[in-house]
Amino acid sequence: MKGTIITCRHETLALPDLLAWRVVHTGTVPCDCYTVTFLYDGAMAEPLHLAAGFLAMEGETVMLRGIVDEYTVSMGAEGLTATVTGRGYAARLLDNESRPLTYQGATLQEIIRNHVTPYGISAAETAAVRANSVYTVAAGSSQWKALEGFCRTYGGFSPRFGRDGRLLAAPEQEGRRLRIGGEDPVLSCVLREDHYGVLTEVLVIDKTRNTAYSVQNRDMMDRGGQCRRVVYTPGQSTWAAMRYTGEYQLQQSKKGERTVEVALPGSFLAFPGDTVELDMARMGLRGVFRVAEAENAFSRSGGATVTLTLEERV
């Protein structure tokens, strides 16, 4: 993989061969992120000081376009080295707060124009979504929350980012389909089932109208779980918005309940949204899973590895 720094003056610095790197793709929040380490010389001082963007390339393919959060320069056994870390473009929306706004009959294009475009982000996909009620962006909401809340409430999907940094504001399409079995060179496989934080009920209350809406996770309740949350929504919330709020909180809590982490040699073998048919007979583990996160790492001593975090497709 090759790395390039883009400065705030739109100048570029092609980094020397990387001694080590780590790229994590999620496509959503938490953000994509990266860390790269390379040999340093004094001529890099000014470009690193002005570093604003980062581009990772594998051959002719963009693997990640993001922002620079931090760099360090160190002197050690390998000589002078520099390490640059940062996140994907979703960080631009997470780091910026929206002012309180109320929309009447807003479209997704309008939301993107107000909450996304001003931060230098273009949209590769935009669904034809329109609000059928008042949509409120509460005080203290990030630009990401303003966008995601609209997409989930009125479109039933969560926005994502492509590896090239462009917004994908449309329902996710199933990506490539892969099969991983016992005959493959699996370095490790970990099944984790974690009930902590999995909600059994979300009670959504509109204090202004004195109305409430309850959403229950009957499966976890039948297994003895007890974990309720009470959520207060802005006044004059519609039933659709209250239902969305409850169901969204429930689904989010269930995401990490049952996951599988599979490590393989190589890099960039799969990306979020891809489907993996898993057949690990020795573990009694079979099923169809969605790639939720792909962590790719390289070091000169350990070579290249990829760790896929898988969630069951429903």
84 shares a domain with 99: no
181 shares a domain with 291: yes
pLDDT digits (tens, 9 = 90+) for 37-63: 999 999 999 999 999 999 999 999 999
186 shares a domain with 281: yes
In the three-class reduction of DSSP (H, G, I as helix; E, B as strand; rest coil), residue 143 is classed as: helix
Looking at residue 37, which CATH number applies to its domain? Answer: 2.30.300.10
280 shares a domain with 187: yes
* Among 250, 254, 278, residue whose Cα is nearest residue 189: 278
105 shares a domain with 159: yes
* Among 258, 274, 277, 299, residue whose Cα is nearest residue 184: 277
> The domain containing residue 144 runs over which residues?
93-169
Tell me which of 70, 88, 106 is where a domain ends: 88
Helix (H) or strand (E) holding 127: none
Number of structural domains (the chain) is 4
261 shares a domain with 247: no
pLDDT digits (tens, 9 = 90+) for 90-145: 999 999 999 999 999 999 999 999 999 999 999 999 999 999 889 999 999 999 99
108 shares a domain with 153: yes
pLDDT digits (tens, 9 = 90+) for 202-256: 888 887 777 888 888 888 888 888 888 888 876 656 656 666 677 877 877 777 6
Query: What pTM, to 2 d.p., does this model score?
Result: 0.85
pLDDT digits (tens, 9 = 90+) for 138-193: 999 999 999 999 998 899 899 999 999 999 999 998 899 999 998 999 999 999 98
205 shares a domain with 189: no
Tell me which of 39, 66, 88 is where a domain ends: 88
